[in-house]
């Protein structure tokens, strides 16, 4: 036997925590005490049999004062009134049939009227209870009634409270919202004016339906709100509930799906039945893609529980027996996987797109969330809105909350601009992590980031300038060169994509200029550049292959697509694609090398400034390129006097990547 097996056998058992039992402690003690009492009643301790005496012997003992108590009860068995007497003597002076001493005795003959009078004179009769058939029956049934009642309250009520009853398993879990508790109105929603206008028609119709019915208008039966996560779809639904003076039911798409077949469809029917009883009303289904995914994808047949739930939803929204007055509002961030029958007019008549807010919308959102935060006078929400492109409403709310927490930890009474800048850098690029690096690693990192900064500043056309350069580890990168657009980017040109690839390649080139070697610090840059180049060739048609899309085979079967997969390009075309991607990357690599060679003096000065200050602003990089030195003062970055953060993952290779779409949040150029 091995040592591991011996250790397993000698290992002590884990102790059970006091709160780890499935039943309550009080219930356990009640069951234990009840079991003990039941055993005692069913198996009473056997006492000696009483002695049998006649009337004369009882009278003699009574005259001698040796009877402690006596009891006479009437027994009407057989239609006659029998008087049966029993009692106890003062001392165990009697012997029963087994020869054992005892104090208990019973009468062997019937007590007559004359003997009853004699016993009354001795004053040993304590009571004369009249036992009838009804009282005898009650004495026999009462213990069973008590036991059944105990079992009912201990078990049946527990099961009902836990499972809410077997009959209510298929009932709808939609919650009816109260109108006064935590009421949210359209004034609390910002950054989506067009969406508020569209859903505002529903509220206006519910308040004054005759206005639309006079000209033959019909309110949409369903409104589908589509948008990225965090853009305010659920918040807008809460605002509709606050504005509309009608019943509002809220439910999640996952509440319909259960492991038991038919439960989801039953809940859908029950939900619409509740809606018809409270019509006109609004029903909000959050994350409807959990139940409304495309049917017939090959994963599960017609008996699939999710498909039955979807079929029931389709029929209830616009089937043969449809009633007016129930308006469905649903939200999802995956409209591409929804079933086409669910999106047709008559079910979801209108799709409201809630996109990421623009610069005006971001400022409005910041003003809404800044109502509850004490802001300093130097905080300009318009400046924050310009510096946070691509952030959703939820991320902007998180930005102000992080700034408030940071100011509180620094013992400030108000949130100033420095707290918001630190919170923005933390959300976008991660928190600073002070790591110990030797001079050689620090030098290579400084030239790496200086290469990104020089090429990025030279190629900048005023759209995406350099924001900050640092060699302090942040997030998963050892250093970063960050860029913040001056406006919302809705699309990029081929030149802008090539400039991004050129900037990504500059870090490795600058590092090689100084050390004469290359390292794995540029792995994130290489992945980012390769991804952009392949997207240009395969999706955007920005190569010599022409405007041809060759990325159609990237869909996932589990999102409701076909099981079979066909190859859209030949092997020869695939080789040409690889050659075009290689040509783009090598060309921009050569271009970045030429730029850095022509600005070698500026490269050295930016790297020296990073080694001295660790963090410099984008304006400092521009001043070095134009004037050869830094003109503006450099604010020294001191380690924050805060509790140490959790240790992050080892940062040898960076995994941060910039957004490759037409629009997105700014991302660092990692080391």
> Which range is most confident: 8-12, 188-192, 356-360?
356-360
Three-state SS annotation for 242-263: HHCCCCEEEEEHHHCCCCCCCH
What's the CA gap between 538 and 546, in Å, rounded? 10
Residue at token pair 């003699």:
60
pLDDT tens-place string over residues 369-386: 888 888 988 888 888 888
Q: Is the pLDDT of residue 161 over 60?
A: no
Q: Is the pLDDT of residue 666 over 50?
A: no
- Long-range pairs, 151-159, Cβ under 8 A, ≥24: 154/27, 154/30, 154/31, 158/27
Confidence of residue 177 (pLDDT cuts 50, 70, 90): low
Q: Are 366 and 381 in contact (CB under 8 A)?
A: yes
* Through-space distance between the first and last CA atoms of the chain, rounded to whole angstroms: 52
Tokens of 517: 């070697």
pLDDT computed for residue 66 by the predictor = 83
pLDDT computed for residue 22 by the predictor = 44
pLDDT computed for residue 91 by the predictor = 84
Average pLDDT over residues 137-147: 72
The pTM for the full model equals 0.63
Q: How far is CA 497 from CA 468, 576, 589, 660, in A?
A: 21, 20, 14, 9
Q: What is the DSSP letter of 188?
A: G
Q: Is the pLDDT of residue 4 over 60?
A: no
Q: Return the active site residues.
A: 449
Q: Is the pLDDT of residue 561 over 90?
A: no
Tell me the Ramachandran region of residue 546: left when phi exceeds 0, alpha when psi lies from -120 to 50, beta otherwise.
Answer: left
Quote the percentage of the chain above a pLDDT of 90: 13
Q: Is the pLDDT of residue 144 over 80?
A: no
Return the half-sphere exposure (C-beta side, CA atoms, 13 A cut-off) of residue 271: 31
Q: Is the pLDDT of residue 330 over 50?
A: yes
What's the CA gap between 374 and 418, in Å, rounded? 14
Higher pLDDT, 561 or 443: 443
pLDDT computed for residue 6 by the predictor = 47
Q: Is the pLDDT of residue 559 over 70?
A: no
Residue 231 is labelled as binding a ligand: yes
Confidence of residue 260 (pLDDT cuts 50, 70, 90): low
Residue 227 is labelled as binding a ligand: yes
What's the CA gap between 525 and 283, in Å, rounded? 48
pLDDT computed for residue 637 by the predictor = 53
Residue 525 is labelled as binding a ligand: yes
Three-state SS annotation for 531-560: HHHHHHHHCCCCCCCCCCCCCHHHCCHHHC
Cα torsion through 517, 518, 520, 522, rounded to 10: 140
Higher pLDDT, 592 or 545: 592
Name the residue among 315, 240, 31, 253 with its Cα closest to residue 155: 31
What's the CA gap between 52 and 107, in Å, rounded? 6
Average pLDDT over the chain, rounded to an integer? 76
Average pLDDT over residues 349-359: 86
Q: Are 247 and 370 in contact (CB under 8 A)?
A: no
Tokens of 203: 């509220």
Average pLDDT over residues 52-72: 81
347 Cβ neighbours under 8 A, 6+ residues apart: 221, 222, 314, 317, 318, 341
Average pLDDT over residues 218-238: 84
Higher pLDDT, 156 or 634: 634
Q: Are 655 and 429 in contact (CB under 8 A)?
A: no
What's the CA gap between 190 and 373, in Å, rounded? 17
Three-state SS annotation for 115-166: HHHHHHHCCCEEECCCCCHHHHHHHHHHHHHHHHHHHHHHHHHHHHHHHCCH
Q: How far is CA 333 from CA 117, 233, 289, 336, in A?
A: 98, 9, 8, 9
Average pLDDT over residues 11-20: 40
Q: Determine the distance from the C-alpha atom of residue 337 to the mean position of all C-alpha atoms in its chain, rounded to a whole number.
A: 22
Confidence of residue 571 (pLDDT cuts 50, 70, 90): confident
DSSP percent split of the chain into helix, strand, coil, nearest 5: 50, 10, 40
> Which range is most confident: 106-110, 266-270, 467-471?
467-471
Judged by DSSP in three states, 470 sits in strand
Confidence of residue 9 (pLDDT cuts 50, 70, 90): very low
Q: Are 189 and 196 in contact (CB under 8 A)?
A: yes
pLDDT tens-place string over residues 423-452: 888 888 777 777 767 778 888 899 999 999
pLDDT tens-place string over residues 181-205: 567 778 778 877 778 877 887 788 8
Q: Is the pLDDT of residue 641 over 60?
A: no
Q: Is the pLDDT of residue 629 over 50?
A: yes
Q: Is the pLDDT of residue 154 over 90?
A: no
pLDDT computed for residue 664 by the predictor = 39
Average pLDDT over residues 312-339: 79
Q: Are 654 and 664 in contact (CB under 8 A)?
A: no
Q: Are 202 and 220 in contact (CB under 8 A)?
A: yes
Average pLDDT over residues 103-124: 74
Q: Is the pLDDT of residue 527 over 90?
A: yes
Residue 298 is labelled as binding a ligand: no
Q: Is the pLDDT of residue 563 over 60?
A: no
> Which range is most confident: 21-30, 273-282, 548-557?
273-282
Rg (alpha carbons) of the chain, rounded to whole number: 43
Q: What is the DSSP letter of 53?
A: E
Q: Is the pLDDT of residue 353 over 60?
A: yes
What's the CA gap between 333 and 48, in Å, rounded? 83
Q: Is the pLDDT of residue 421 over 80?
A: yes
434-448, 575-589, 626-640: lowest mean pLDDT where?
Answer: 626-640
pLDDT computed for residue 644 by the predictor = 45
Higher pLDDT, 320 or 575: 575
Q: Is the pLDDT of residue 670 over 50?
A: no
CB atoms within 10 A of CB 221: 18
Quote the percentage of the chain above a pLDDT of 70: 72
Tokens of 506: 């500059």
43-52, 123-132, 311-320, 434-443: lowest mean pLDDT where?
Answer: 123-132
Residue at token pair 């799709």:
351
Average pLDDT over residues 264-285: 81
pLDDT tens-place string over residues 583-600: 999 999 999 999 999 999
Q: Is the pLDDT of residue 134 over 80?
A: no
Average pLDDT over residues 321-335: 78
**Exposed, middle or buried by CB within 10 Å (0-12, 13-18, 19+), for 423?**
buried
Residue 448 is labelled as binding a ligand: yes
pLDDT computed for residue 320 by the predictor = 61
Three-state SS annotation for 597-636: HHCHHHHHHHHHHHHHHCEEEHHHHHHHHHHCCCCCCCCC
Tokens of 318: 């616009």
């Amino acid at each position: 036997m091995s040592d591991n097996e011996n250790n397993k056998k000698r290992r002590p058992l884990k102790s059970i925590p006091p709160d780890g039992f499935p039943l309550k402690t009080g219930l356990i003690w009640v069951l234990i005490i009840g079991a003990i009492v039941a055993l005692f009643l069913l198996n009473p301790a056997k006492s000696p049999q009483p002695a049998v005496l006649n009337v004369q012997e009882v009278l003699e003992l009574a005259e001698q004062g040796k009877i402690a108590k006596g009891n006479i009860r009437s027994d009407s068995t057989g239609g006659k009134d029998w008087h049966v007497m029993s009692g106890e003597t003062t001392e165990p002076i009697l012997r029963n049939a087994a020869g054992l001493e005892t104090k208990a005795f019973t009468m062997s003959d019937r007590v007559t009227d004359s003997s009853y009078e004699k016993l009354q004179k001795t004053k040993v009769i304590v009571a004369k209870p009249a036992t009838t058939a009804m009282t005898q029956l009650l004495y026999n049934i009462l213990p069973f009634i008590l036991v059944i009642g105990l079992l009912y309250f201990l078990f049946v009520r527990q099961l009902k409270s836990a499972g809410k009853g077997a009959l209510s398993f298929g009932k709808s879990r939609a919650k009816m919202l109260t109108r006064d508790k935590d009421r949210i109105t359209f004034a609390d929603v910002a950054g989506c004016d067009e969406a508020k206008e569209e859903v505002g028609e529903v509220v206006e119709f519910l308040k004054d339906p005759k206005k639309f019915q006079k000209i033959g208008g019909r309110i949409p039966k369903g409104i589908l709100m589509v948008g990225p996560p965090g853009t305010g779809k659920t918040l807008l639904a809460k605002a509709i509930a606050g504005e509309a003076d009608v019943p509002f039911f809220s439910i999640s798409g996952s509440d319909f799906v259960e492991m038991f077949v038919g439960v989801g469809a039953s809940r859908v029917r029950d939900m619409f039945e509740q809606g018809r009883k409270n019509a006109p009303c609004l029903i909000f289904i959050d994350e409807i893609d959990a139940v409304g995914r495309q049917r017939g994808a090959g994963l599960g047949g017609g008996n699939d529980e999710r498909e039955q739930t979807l079929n029931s939803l389709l029929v209830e929204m616009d089937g043969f027996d449809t009633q007016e007055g129930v308006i469905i509002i649903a939200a999802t961030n995956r409209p591409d996987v929804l079933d086409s029958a669910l999106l047709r007019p008559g079910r979801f008549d209108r799709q409201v797109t809630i996109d990421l807010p623009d610069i005006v919308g971001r400022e409005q959102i910041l003003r809404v969330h800044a109502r509850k935060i004490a802001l300093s006078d130097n905080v300009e929400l318009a400046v924050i809105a310009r510096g946070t492109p691509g952030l959703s409403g939820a991320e902007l709310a998180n930005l102000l909350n992080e700034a408030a927490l940071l100011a509180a930890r620094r013992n400030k009474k108000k949130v100033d601009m420095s707290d918001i800048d630190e919170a923005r850098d933390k959300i976008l690029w991660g928190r600073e992590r002070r790591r110990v690096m030797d001079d050689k690693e620090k030098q290579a990192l400084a030239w790496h980031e200086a290469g990104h900064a020089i090429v990025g500043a030279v190629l900048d056309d005023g759209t995406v300038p350099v924001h900050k350069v640092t060699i302090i580890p942040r997030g998963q990168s050892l250093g970063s060169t960050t860029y913040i657009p001056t406006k919302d980017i809705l699309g990029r040109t081929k030149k802008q994509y090539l400039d991004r690839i050129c900037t990504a390649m500059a870090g490795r080139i600058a590092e090689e200029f100084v050390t004469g070697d290359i390292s794995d610090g540029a792995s994130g840059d290489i992945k980012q550049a390769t991804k952009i180049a392949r997207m240009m060739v395969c999706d955007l048609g920005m190569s010599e292959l022409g405007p041809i899309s060759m990325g159609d085979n990237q869909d996932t079967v589990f999102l409701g697509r076909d099981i079979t997969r066909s190859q859209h390009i030949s092997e020869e075309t695939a080789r040409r694609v690889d050659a075009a991607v290689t040509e783009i990357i090598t060309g921009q690599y050569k271009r970045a090398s030429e730029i850095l060679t022509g600005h070698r003096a500026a490269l050295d000065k930016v790297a020296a400034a990073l080694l001295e200050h660790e963090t410099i602003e984008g304006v400092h990089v521009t001043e070095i390129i134009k004037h050869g030195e830094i003109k503006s003062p450099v604010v020294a970055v001191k380690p924050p006097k805060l509790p140490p953060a959790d240790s992050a993952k080892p940062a040898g290779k960076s995994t941060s990547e910039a957004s490759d779409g037409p629009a997105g949040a700014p991302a660092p150029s990692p080391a």
